[in-house]
């Protein structure tokens, strides 16, 4: 009997055990209604129900999930000003987070996310897989995909992001989940939300 096929399902069970249940302190985001996100002028219209997590990754950010934190995350960064990081500082003195710049090129956005993950999440492995220019809410934006693993975690996660610098501020939408099963489970629903971004 081979043990290898059991490794990934066991990993998902472990992740699920530590995931925040969809009902724990979260708020239901109904389908079909246009709502403002991340304390900003950015609005989206989900095609399916999501749960808004009570904990925010940053002052101008919020995260939604369908199956629980750690299983699928749709995160909005709403108007991060020049000189500010994406996340709350972990160790400002010894490991300051990279900052948004009003003069960033759209190709700098994936690099900002990658470097932020290395510090804020302690990600041992982060790789940008694809980058392409796209329209984002009427502005010149970027779409990119990435893979990463969090600190002390062997589980690989996939991510899909799109964003732009608008009025000197960064607006970004990211969707990520474990590569096995959960990424594909909610990827289409996340795309509907990201495609609906307006200001």
How high is the mean pLDDT in each 10-residue block of the chain (199 residues)?
Answer: 40 41 73 97 97 93 94 97 93 92 96 95 91 96 96 90 97 97 96 96
Is the CA virtual torsion 35, 38, 44, 46 positive or negative? negative
Give phi and psi for 130, each to the nearest 5: -140, 150
Strands 139-149 and 157-166: antiparallel
What is d(CA 87, CA 99) in angstroms, rounded to the nearest whole number?
A: 10
What's the pLDDT at 24?
Answer: 52
Burial (CB < 10 A; 0-12, 13-18, 19+), residue 190, is: buried
pTM of the model: 0.86
Domain 4-192: CATH architecture, name and number where available: 3-Layer(aba) Sandwich (3.40)
Task: Give the closest residue to 180 by CA, choosing from 149, 152, 136, 151.
Answer: 149
């Amino acid at each position: 009997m081979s043990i290898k096929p059991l490794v990934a399902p066991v990993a998902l069970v472990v992740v699920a055990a530590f995931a925040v249940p969809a009902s724990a302190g979260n708020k239901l985001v109904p389908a079909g209604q246009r709502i403002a996100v991340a304390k900003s002028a950015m609005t989206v219209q989900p095609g399916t129900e999501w749960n808004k997590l009570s904990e925010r990754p940053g002052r101008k950010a919020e995260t939604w999930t369908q199956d629980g934190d750690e299983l699928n995350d749709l995160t909005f960064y709403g108007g991060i000003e020049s000189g500010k990081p994406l996340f709350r500082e972990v160790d400002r003195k010894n490991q300051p987070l990279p900052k948004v710049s009003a003069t960033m090129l759209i190709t700098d956005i994936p690099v900002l996310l990658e470097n932020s993950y290395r510090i804020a999440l302690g990600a041992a492995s982060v790789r940008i897989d694809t980058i392409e220019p796209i329209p984002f809410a009427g502005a010149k934006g970027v779409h990119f995909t990435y893979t990463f693993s969090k600190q002390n975690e062997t589980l690989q996660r996939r991510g899909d992001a799109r964003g732009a610098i608008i009025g000197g501020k960064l607006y970004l939408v990211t969707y990520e989940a474990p590569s096995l099963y959960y990424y594909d489970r909610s990827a289409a629903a996340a795309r509907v939300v990201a495609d609906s971004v307006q200001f």
